[in-house]
Structures are given as structure tokens and as C-alpha cells.
Structure 1
Amino acid sequence: MATFVPSEILIQFKPGVTEGAKAAVMGVVSGTMKERMHTRTMVAAGAGELDVVKLPPGLNVSTAITRLRNNPSIAIAEPNWVFTTQQTSNDPYYTAAPYRLWGMYGDDSVTPTNQFGSQADEAWASGNVGSTSVVVGIIDEGIDYTHPDLAANIWTNPGEVAANGVDDDANGYIDDIHGWDFFNNDNSIFDGSGDDHGTHVAGTIGGVGGNGQGVAGVAWNVTMISAKFLGPSGGSLADAVEALDYLTNLKTKYGVNLVATNNSWGGGGFSQSLQDAINRAANAGILFIAAAGNDGSNNDSTARYPSNYNNVIAVAAIDSSGNLASFSNYGATDVDLGAPGVGIYSTLPGGTYGSYSGTSMATPHVTGAAALYAAAHPGASANTIRAALLSSAQATPTASLVGKTVTGGRLNVSAAPDVIPPPSLSIGNVSKLEGNKGQTNFTFTVSLSAASSQAVNVQFATAHGTALAGRINDYRAASGTLSFSPGTTSRTITITINADKTSEANETFFINLSNPTNAALGVAKGTGTIVNDDAPFASQAATGTSSSQKSAVAKVDPSPIDVVFSSLADEVVEAALDSVRSKRR
């Protein structure tokens, strides 16, 4: 079982921190900088440099992070978690069956039929087969870009001259013709048979349709960019962040019409640096579509990342009979919808094909559907695409998903373009000093994207993160129903915070929205950050920063966490969390 890199941590400095202050931070842990990242997307967002720091022999990750807790020069300090590929099973019995692409089938006029398929073939029959002007990013293993069912839909960078050894488009990556390999730090997005998971995912999203061979993806016509970060030994958190920022920069600086990223991997604990990268992508109008996980567990009770982050569409897996897959995670507030994920036939390296199972396989059905919607509705915003997908799922109730997902339904590709999305509900984040005595109020704003002629209701409930609820703990738990009268577009929820005089890391809690009526959920999770305003720990004296900086404290994760990040196939992935993490859940 892989864990975080045992002798490395990630440190993100606050903007404007001097080199002297950075050196002082390194001195606290006797660390050496292995790699410094300051992606163009980080720069545009005003974020500081993100360093991969090598620790000296004898200093473990937990101790190093504890020493850095509340250091005023640091924004984030956390383990450099490892994402490890756990291969899906090849099902020869399924591949021998006559109907291999049940995940694409519908239940109306087009044959063969399966009511629990994605209904993609009904969209094709109506003339919507996608558009190569729509782009998606695949953050995964690499892709066999020469596969006959993929080659026509692989992105070619118009700003690069192939193999000239020059960064022609000045994006920081030399000869990134079809994307970038962040695992090996080169431009080779395909390294052989080990890139089967990424190749399989690509075929479900955008296998070329109508060419008389192999398979067809949800979107026959689409452009796919590879952001490879998983290799034979897994992939690191640092590489995942850089991969997502790479794609975001292609949209914000180079105008690439990137509407979504597919993320069929997961595991482990919360990472602020990855949440920040997801937020940067969301601010650029890019959907982050993620696998719910293969533990067969409830994500509402035990968070599964990245699917439990804010600004994510989380996908469960169903089988061809509409059952929630035995391995699939679920969650009435944290998993959005189901999609075909059992016995999914798709492309494999070397021009071959095979059948895999997992929430990894369900997720690209939804990413392909996002591409189809964007093709039929040029210029549609990410929120509009999200609302259309979730509204059509809500209109396609599935018994096994009722009470197990936000929508209670499954992907319905053909319905999504026909749905006029209702107004969407979104909740904002709040960050505020906790105070030294008494209580402080955190006021969260819940907004409706457009006024409705009908009354809108939505349930809400707090959930703990690193902060704990209770009269003598960090905040007061709350739940209830928020009502919008016709024409109203904004309401607020107030949560009471208990002040203290304890110097500690910033702490977070959440408010989850669920079960809306006459509206869809946009951003369904708000984060409250209780900012420490007490004196820093004595261990920070070595940083050389002044006490006047103490209110700008670090967001750190001090707990040692034994985790696995994986491509989400049919293997069971377990995370063993220590007592500190258990307290914080």
C-alpha cells in the first residue's frame, strides 16, 4: 500500500515572502528544495510559489509539518501524497457478449436498447455527435494517441512546432504537442501498455464514432488533451496540481475551449493545494468531473478526495440493470449522479479494446456528456452545463440512487440538451478571525442564479472538517430549510463560532446544501475557515518574522496520514487514518 512520499512535504509560501524568510522556513525543518513550482495559473491567481521540500534523514513528515504550523510565511504545508494506479479487471466474458457498449444505449427508438445506459445513442440519432471545437482534459495515465479510434480526436498544439526543442508558445513546456507527461516531465504522453487506464477513459469520452470500427465514445467528435501524472509507481500530489494548472492556463491564456477535466482517480485526505487548483479551474469555467471511489462506502460519512472537494461533479457507478455497483461509493450530499461503470468496453493501447469496471469508467461518460452539451450550446457556461447534466439526472430517477446521490438519478445524455436548466443555488465561502472571547458569527450567502416565479427551498446542514461542532468546541452545528420567495435571489445562513485563546492551525467546517425544490444545485458546499488570531507557537521563533504578522497564519495539515491515491477501478482502496485525522473527521 503506497503512502505519501516519506521524506518530502509541499510548502506553498504566501505571496511576497522574501528569499530570506523562505530560507528561514527551510531552516526550521533543515529541508532542501527539490522542485519549485509557480505555474502561470498560480501567478494569475496571486498565489505564492509551491515547493517540493526534501527532508533530512530522521525527520518524518508529521514532525516537519508540526514544526511549520502557523508559520506566518507559509500558506500551505502538507504531505506530498502519492496517487497509485490500481488496475481494473479485464472481463473476457463480458467482451465476448454481443452487446459491448451498453453504456451508450438508450431506451427509445434506437436499437439495441438499455434504459440504464447513458442514452448517448439517442443524442447521436438526433444529430448531436459533438464538435472538435470542444476540448476536454484527461488527468490520468497517458493516452495511446495513435489508436485508430482516438487519433482523430487528440489535441495538437497549434502554437508548437513539433520536435524543434523550443517552447514556441512560451507556456513553459517544450514541444507539448498533444499535452504533457508530468510524471516523467517530458512531452511523451504515451509510454506503452502501462497507459491502459488513461487510454480506456479516453475511448469512453471521445472514441471516434461512425468510422466502422471498434467503439464509439459519448462524443464522436471532441478534442482531448492528455495531462498525464500517473505512472507505474503512481503520481504525486504536486504533479496533480501542476497538471490541472497546465490545463487551466491553456484556457485562460491561450483561449483553448476547455470545458471539463476528467479525473478517474482518488483516495487519501484533504489537500488545500489541490482544492486551490480546482478553484482556479472553476474560476476559468472548467468543470472538474471526478470518480466517487470504489470503497463501497458513504462519502458523506468518510470524505473521498478529489470527489469531495468543492466545485466538483462526483460520479457513482451503476450496472446494466440499474443497480448501484457493489464497489461504488455514494453520498446523498457529496455524490451527484450515477453513470454506467460496470463492464465498460473501450480502447486499450496498441489498437486493442477491453472491458473494465469502476467509478473510473462511469466518470468519462459524464465528461463526454458535458462535451456533447457544450457542442450543442456553444458558449454555455460551466454552471449551465453542470445544471443541465444534474437536472436531466434528477429527471431520470433510479431506485438504487435515490437517497444515495444528490440527484437520485442517472446520466441521461439525450435529455440534457432538451432541459432548460432551472436556476441554480450556490453557497459562498467565509473566512474570518475567530476572536479571543465570546462568539463570532459567520454569515454564508446562498445565491440563486436567476429569479424564479416559484418558491425555492433547499435544505442545509453543517459538517465538520478540521473544526468540530459543539457548545464548547469550535462552532455550533446547524441545519434546516432555506426558503426563497418568488423573485428572491439571495438568502443567508448564520453560524456561530466559539472564540478561544489557543494558538492552532486555521480550522474549517462546511455547510452542505441538498434536496432543492424548483432549482438545481450549483456550488453545494460552502467552506468556513476559522482563522487563528492567537500568538504563533514558540517553534516559529526561528522564522525571523515579526509578531505583527501573526494574523496571517498558515493553513496546514499536521496529521500523518497513510493514504492511497488510485485510478478508480474495481479494486477496493483503503485509507488508514491516524487518531488526529479521525478526530478531525
Structure 2
Amino acid sequence: MKSKKAMAVMAGSVVMMAALTANPTYAQTAIPRNWHLLNYTQDSVYGTGVEKAYKELLKGRKSTPVLVAVIDSGIDTLHEDLKSILWVNPKEIPGNGIDDDKNGYVDDVHGWNFLGGKDGRSVKEDSDEATREYYRYKSLYINPDSALDKQSKEYQYWQKLQGRVVKPSPNESKVTYKTMLKLQESLHKCEMLLTGYLKQNDFTAAKLDSIQTTDQDVMVAKKFMQRIFQNTGEENLTYSELKSEFEEYLAELKRKAEAADSEGPADKRAEIIGDNINDINDKYYGNNDVMGQFGFHGTHVSGIIAAVRGNGVGMDGINDNVRIMMVKAVPDGDERDKDVALAIRYAVDNGARVVNMSFGKGFSPHKDWVDDAVKYAEEKGVLLVHAAGNDGNDNDVVDNFPNPDFADHSARANNYITVGASSNGRNTKVANFSNYGKKNVDLFAPGVQIYSTVPGGNKYGAASGTSMAAPVVAGVAALVLAYHPNLTAAQLKSILMKSATPLPDGTTEVNKPGAGDTKVPFSELSISGGLINAYEALKLADTLDTDKGTHPKKKKKAKMEPVKKG
């Protein structure tokens, strides 16, 4: 799920938190860049113990390569820390325009793009599912309030949609958009003045404090930006991060202003992709462009799992013997159930053992399609790792899709892990934006200011969200599998859950996400009541007789070459 948090300065909008700078200002904080890989005993942070595991448990041991599918927005296939760990389809000849492996997807060398069109374009933006459903019901029933039986489930669903979709007037949307455009102009002027004075192209609130000059224009810009930084409530925020948040918020405002003039969101998907969105059997659409221009999110997620370890550049991923298959299905906006279902099936059919799903939404009109794909993954022994969401909600009360509970109430998938976001433990314990749930969130993992790969010229940056916590768990799952390849998905989930640990400094109560200073027991925020712990998971796995474990049924083994360092 895309990393989201409140932005007081941007009218309380929920937008993506992401650093796009090549040189983030981490030197200004005592929190190590790789804190999520560290451990509390040595480093005083709520990390996963990955580095400790490599030093104490894994040294000299041989591992098996593990294929992890990342269903996301795309990946920078040229990034220095990722290009050598990309999955390469061994049965496909690149660029020949032929479906060599006869799987229905032509030239799917590194994965597949379910957002693509035959002409090479891709869907960048899509509407949210609640809005799509709201207008679908309006077109079906004209006036659903009078057309639907008040006792029916459909009417209850319609009421839920009305509660989520508030259609602003065209004037209201346009006024807000124009106001924010003026703010953007002011930010740009301040940026020019301050970067010129500082002789650097990025800065923080702490850096602004050091400015002392008789240039009144610079001082006005300083005070303006200090107020902006203060209103965000974010520690260690850089201007580049704030600017990225604002630009995404502005793009969302623009979409709303355009939608307010029409009866429903524009269907760009139909124009670009051209599939029948209501037919799950119409599945051979898209293209092989898993990179595109929109892959920040997927690139960052992939680096957390698999960025090459020990090559002396950037950062280290969790697993040093892993391949990433990118399955592009997540636009700016809500993903479609059809794309998600087919993306899961594609990953399973092509040998993935773990699937990371850092996305989510509040409505799922074709949940049955996704459920069938989850069941398919379960049958084939594939672990699905999903982000819990970033709205500070209780997932036991508020719907969050996809999820492991089948719509037909037949069962609950046992190959599915839902992940909340924890912080480093020094400033905060649990991310204030993270969703939680004693029945519907399995465990927590590092998800605040996670440093990883970003696209566009071998760059790195930080991002926050359960989107970052999920790949931490996916990476740990793949690490355990690398040394215990015979584990089933259910066994692997059990190991991760049983080895999850309480907060390492002995803290028992934390601030309840989304509830200010309200305290709750940390153990009540998830099923396991704990944090992911790679060190303990590997120790637990070592106690099991995995040589007698069951191989996943009819699973294809993906052929993968060793990762090249550097």
C-alpha cells in the first residue's frame, strides 16, 4: 500500500511520503540508515536482527535462491543495486515478439505489466474504487436510494459507498486547486532563494535554523518554510520529501477538480488497455514494460527485499540470494481486482515462492476473483505478504482489501500475512499512520523512514508506510526459505508468527495509531502481538526437520543465476 500520512500543511490530505533525493540528509540524525536490519541489543533500534543473523547463524552456510514477486507500480530495471537480481524468464527469448514459453504473455522477460496497452503505453493514474463503485451504482439504478430494497445487502453497500464518496461542487474543487497552485508558486520561489543561499539543492528545518543574513528576501523565505516544516509534524523531513508529497497531493486535487465537472471518473484504462474489465477470463492483455516512468514505489519495495548486499553502494537488501519478479498492477489510485487476481496467478505460475503486495483499498467489487487467486496460491504453497494500510484504522472494524477471509465464508487462507508498521523505537514505537487489528493484522515490521532504492540514475531515498513494512517481512520470509527451501507456505507463516517478539526495550504500552496520545498494549494491535524477527525466525526454522518437509504441490523451480556483487 502506498505510504500515506496526514499533511496538515496541505489541508490534511493523505499523500505519499517519499524521498527522491540521491543524497538524503541522514547525517543529521543518530538513527542509522539501515536501522531496520539491526537489533536492539547492539544498536538500540527496533530492527529485525538481519545483520546479526548473517554474522552468527548463516556464516558459511549455503542457501538456495528464492523468487519473490512484487506486485506493484514498476521497477527501475537499470538501477545499480537491482539489475543483477531481476528474475529472467529462462524460457523467453528477449525482444523477439514471440510468446516463446506459451504462457500467453509475449516477451515477459522480467515479469508482466497488467497496466499496459498494446501500443506500449501504461495506465499511470486511476480513480479510487469507492468512486468507481458509486458511479456504477448510479448508472445502474439512477436513484439507488429509491430503487433498492432498504433491507437488501445491496442497499447497505450503497449506503457505505455514500459514506465514503463525497462529491465536491465544481467550484469548491477548482478553488482549492487554484489555491494550492498559488502555494506551489510560493514554495518554488522560496526554494530558489534558499538553495541559492545555501549552495545546495536540498535542506531541512535544522539547516534553515543556521541561516543568518541581512538579505530580507532570504529571511522571509526562511520563516515561510519553517512554518511549513513545523506544520507537517515530521522529524528529519527534507524539502525534497515535502515537495514530493505536495506534488502528489496537487495531482490528486487536479483529478478531483476535473471529476467534479463530470458524472464519474474518466476511464483511461479502457482507452489504453482495452480489455473487458468485467471478464476475468479476458486475461491476455498488457505489455512487458515493467519499468515505465512510474516505478518509485515498486523500486523502493524491491530494494528493501533484495538490493545487492555487500557491493559497497547504496544499501543492502535483506536476502543475498533472491530474485525479484515485477508484476505491474498498481497505478496512482486504486488497483483493479482483476489485475490483482491475474497478477497473483502470474506470479504463482512462474515460480514465485513469496509475493509482496504493498497496496490496498476499502472496496473490492470482485473479491471472489481475488479470493480464487489467493486459494490458487495457497494450493501451490506460495506465501502472500500484504500491507495493513496507512489510515490509522482498526482493520477488525474497517474493511481493507485484499484480505485472507474468503467472501463465501468458507475459510481463511493460511498462506497470507498482513503487516503493520513499527518505528525505530527511539522517537516512536509504532507508526501513527499504521492500521492495526487483533484479528486481522498478523504482526508489525519496520516501516518508518526506510532507506532503499529509488528510480532514475542509481538514486536512494527514504519512504514510510506499511508499504515498506510488508517487504521487510517478505524479505525475511525469503531469507528463511533460502536456508529451508522445503517449508510450505503455512509452515513459513507459522515460523514468522511464532518468532515475532515483544518490543525489545520492555515497553508494553504504545500510542494507539490514529488516536493521538491514547495508550494501548502493543500486544493488542496484532494477532502475534510482536515484531518480525529474522534472527529468531531462522533459529526456530533450524529446530524443524525441514528435510522431511513437503514441497509445494506442482511448483515450478525458477532457474536463477547467482547474484553478481557490484
**In the alignment, structure 1 residue 379 sits paired with structure 2 residue 308:** no
Alignment of 1:457-468 (within 5 A): none
Q: How does 1:136-175 map to 2 (within 5 A)?
A: 136-175=68-107
**Cα distance, 1:265 vs structure 2:** 0.4
**Separation in 2, partners of 1:421, 1:222:** 20
Match of 2:324 in 1: 224
1:268 aligns with 2:366: no
- Secondary structure of 2:305's partner? helix
CA distance in 1, matches of 2:403, 2:99: 34
Q: Aligned AA for 2:474?
A: T
Residue by residue over 1:190-211, the C-alpha shift from the partner in whole angstroms, topping out at 9 and shown as x without a partner, is: 012x210000000001111110
Q: How far has the Cα of 1:383 moved from its partner?
A: 1.2
Q: What is the rounded CA distance, in whole Å, between the counterparts of 2:315 and 2:36 in structure 1?
A: 11
Structure 1 residues 95 and 386 mapped into 2: Cα distance closer, same or farther (>3 Å)?
A: farther
Q: What is the aligned partner in structure 2 of residue 346 from structure 1?
A: 452
Give the Cα separation in 2 of the matches to 1:366 and 1:108: 21
Query: Residues 243-262 of structure 1 correspond to what in structure 2 (within 5 A)?
Result: 243-250=343-350, 256=351, 258-262=352-356
Instruction: Give how far 1:128 is off.
Output: 3.4
Contact 2:423 2:446 in 1 (8 A): yes
Cα pair distance change 1:136/1:291, threshold 3 Å: same
Q: Which structure features the higher share of strand residues?
A: 1
SS of 1:224's partner is strand
- Counterpart position of 1:191: 292
- 1:332 pairs, out of 421, 430, 438, with 438
In the TM superposition, 1:51-62 aligns within 5 A as none
> Are residue 90 (structure 1) and residue 19 (structure 2) matched?
yes
- Give the stretch that moved more between structures: 354-363 or 126-135: 126-135
Question: Are 1:409 and 2:530 an aligned pair?
Answer: yes
Give me the whole-angstrom Cα distance separating, in 2, the residues matched to 1:238 and 1:86: 25
Residue 237 of structure 1: how far off its partner (Å): 1.8
The residue number in structure 2 matching 1:21 is: none
Q: CA 1:224–1:420 in structure 2 vs 1: closer, same or farther (change >3 Å)?
A: closer
Q: Deviation at 1:220? A: 2.2
- The alignment covers a number of residue pairs equal to 330
Q: Secondary structure at the match of 2:322?
A: strand
Mapped partners of 2:344, 2:448: distance in 1: 27
Match of 1:5?
none
Partner of 2:394: 298
Contact 2:46 2:503 in 1 (8 A): no
Once the two structures are superposed, what CA deviation does each residue of 1:282-328 show, in whole Å capped at 9, x if it has no partner? 11101110001111011111221124544220100011016111000
Listed as ranges, the gaps of 5+ residues in structure 1 are 1-84, 251-255, 424-449, 451-585
The range that moved more, 90-99 or 286-295, is: 90-99
- Shift of the 324–225 alpha-carbon distance from structure 1 to 2, 3 Å rule, reads same
One-letter identity of the residue aligned with 1:229: A
SS at match of 1:415: helix
TM-score (norm 1): 0.53
Distance (Å, rounded) in 2 between the aligned partners of 1:169 and 1:345? 37
| Structure 2 residue runs without a partner (length 5+) | 1-13, 117-285, 406-411, 511-521, 550-566
Show CA shifts across 1:541-565 (max 9, x none): xxxxxxxxxxxxxxxxxxxxxxxxx
Name whichever of 307-316 and 203-212 sits farther off.
307-316
- Does the 8 Å contact 1:87/1:197 carry over to 2? no
**Percent of residue pairs identical:** 37
Structure 1 or 2: more helix by fraction:
2
Query: So what's the TM-score if we normalise by structure 2?
Result: 0.55
Mapping 1:383-532, distance limit 5 Å: 383-394=490-501, 399=508, 400=510, 401-419=522-540
Separation in 1, partners of 2:336, 2:464:
24
What root-mean-square deviation, in Å, do the aligned CA atoms of Structure 1 and Structure 2 show? 2.4
Please give the alpha-carbon distance, in whole angstroms, between the structure 2 residues aligned to 1:96 and 1:178. Answer: 38
On the 8 A contact 2:502/2:523 being kept in 1, the answer is no
Match of 1:277 in 2: 373
Match for 1:281: what amino acid? Answer: A
2:64–2:485 Cα contact (<8 Å) kept: no
Equivalent residue, structure 2, for 1:81: none
Classify the secondary structure of the residue corresponding to 2:67. Answer: strand
Bigger relative CO (Cα 8 Å, ≥ 6 apart)? 2
